Amino acid sequence: MRTPFIAGNWKMYKTVAEGVALAESLRAAFDGLTGMDLAVCTPATALMAVGQALAGSNIGVGAQNMYWENEGAFTGELSPLMVKELARYVILGHSERRQYFGETDETVNRKFKAALAHGIVPIVCIGESLEQNRGGETVPFVAAQIHGAFAGISAEEARKVVLAYEPIWAIGTGLTATPEAANTIIREAIRDVLTELYDAETAQAIRVQYGGSVKPENMAEFIVMPEIDGALVGGASLKEASFGAIVKNALAALGKA
């Protein structure tokens, strides 16, 4: 059985003080929670302070990006060694990184390998545009992203990744894929492809989150889908009330509350 996993992506929000305040409220809200993995992925400036605020709790800390070299003349980047000191997880290939900063399947693959080499759990994001979705191109496009991300990755290494299926058209727009559609895409474009690349056991071991305008009102509908193992939450993760409600609604839907 795959352990459900809900992670908050704070994007470019929260000063250090604001991040610590939110982390402390989340720690209090989720104290003693079992049956689900939780994490918050903070801006780089807040990683250390939020990590200290959550030390010893059941909430992990993640970075939002990482470079693949251990060190060097790469101004503005974070190396795996830097991330490893401060975080357990790292988001790779988020659609905003692909859209605004030139991230490609190749760079995601290089970062993926670097994260694994340093014991960091990668949360690798994949997903299609609205045009691709309406044009019936979702499955081949997402499948190609899977092939690109997992190039040169062994089955043993592959089992350590978390995938986040985030249809680009649903991120921050208020639009969402239907739970049934997301479940089908994850099965056909992700698990079936991973079965071809590796084997059915490996494909079934990898956790896949849904992301894209996740909120308390729709979390239960997604989490009960057999292929969906949690969520990568954007805007709704910025407040304890909404993120807490997402987690509690998911637990209730799974019969773990």
Residues 10-38 have pLDDT tens digits of 999 999 999 999 999 999 999 999 999 99
CATH number at residue 71: 3.20.20.70
**4 within 8 A of 36, measured Cβ to Cβ:** yes
Active site annotation includes 166: yes
Q: Does 222 have pLDDT greater than 80?
A: yes
> What was the pLDDT predicted at 252?
95
Q: Does 172 have pLDDT greater than 80?
A: no
Residues 140-164 have pLDDT tens digits of 999 999 999 999 999 999 999 999 9
DSSP sequence for 29-48: HHTT--SSEEEEE--GGGHH
Q: Does 182 have pLDDT greater than 90?
A: yes
Distance between CA atoms of 73 and 224, rounded to whole angstroms? 46
Residue type, 191: R
Question: DSSP code of 123?
Answer: E
Residue type, 235: G
Among the listed residues 96, 128, 166, 227, the single catalytic one is: 166
Distance between CA atoms of 236 and 240, rounded to whole angstroms? 9
The residue range of the domain holding 67 is 5-253
Question: HSE-up of 165 (CA within 13 Å, CB side)?
Answer: 31
Neighbours of 203 (CB within 10 A): 21
The count of domains in the chain is 1
> What was the pLDDT predicted at 48?
98
Active site annotation includes 147: no
pTM over 0.85: yes
Among the listed residues 94, 103, 128, 227, the single catalytic one is: 94
Q: Does 175 have pLDDT greater than 90?
A: no
Question: HSE-up of 187 (CA within 13 Å, CB side)?
Answer: 9
